[in-house]
Structure 1
């Protein structure tokens, strides 16, 4: 049992465990706390999205299930996108027996009848995966899930027994589609290593100037930009992204600019330095 970490302490804990995070606008205050309490918290719950390109969905939710749907989305490349903080619509009702086991940090039993509000008791994270059994989890993605879980456990003084999957919380769910016992083994091993040094800040492609992005420009950098836009939920591609700067790239970048709060002519789809620096395009 614990009081939730402050957003600042939470982000610091993740960075301290070597988690690469992407902070989205107002994530620290985007939550469902007006619907009920968040805390005391007892553990971490992991999910898979059952879809791709799920960043916008995780932040906004649907007409039926209002967002945020999690605190963070673990992307395929291992980036943890922070989209909310506090009570989120991720867990729903679940088993009292499972909650008791998590509180006591012992092996969880098979889930019983749905009776407890998991949204109030767990940090929730979505892991981008189709959940079909044919969509692999890249090494970087599983490592990120391990690190973020360990970071929260370390901050609260919990063991790996405090980390469960949605499928262990309720009979209604099957996610995540990997072994939670195996994930807990990884987390426990990481906790035994002690805190890891904070990694050096990652370097990104420097801004090449707005004039670089002319129609027909061919470059691996164009592909890298497109991939980052897709990862941020701003992709407007029917095919691709590819190496030639074109209309779909402009539409996608304009969506990114609007996400950052730009309007009108400022969201023209042509990269500027400020929006470029926040996109974090890796070296092409």
Structure 2
């Protein structure tokens, strides 16, 4: 598929290292996220962009947060995977690629620790780092429909190199796969990153960010009920329906109805778009995509 859907920029990600203008990729509808580790301690140069992923997450160890850099649109193919001629598509198979700065190699980890080089060892990543990745996966799930699931086998490096852990997908399995995986799972590739990252914890945190998991300490009836997002087609110029009116009424309730001259109606118009944009600008999760067009994340935040 070549039609892009959903926001293309991850909110808050820097475009200081943007490579798409020099290395334009193929348009695609993403249904896979591939996680890499850089095996380094800082933002790579990626050969000027010739081997760059879609995004890079750089740990700020002092602030205990990830700083995100975006190099390609989410739904434009990037260049961090081996893609052999005559084989299966890898970079261009509906894949958004994310590099996590740090290492998955226990020997490298030990060496850097002995030398006093501050770094992040992803198999033992602290909660704040896993949460940073999980929030990105939650955003990809809400905005692009990437399933919060993936392979069961995440063997430790170096057994993950080549196919030492038996984790590498066949071409047929790869072509049918949707969800989250590692570089070590992709066919035609030998790299073993990200090794034994705590994938089950990542998924739990991502689902928790979306309130999709089971929370025994918080009864379901105490959670705010959020109506299901009806789809972007209901919020295009001239669209008419109850969903438009419901959104407008909620904007007014939340204090974002300044652009209505009389009040919300059942017909989507410029006043609706401007009010949605104002709400998006008020939320740090949405500032990078404050275009006035509601998606699943805007909807959830507005009704929560």
Greater CA radius of gyration, 1 or 2? 2
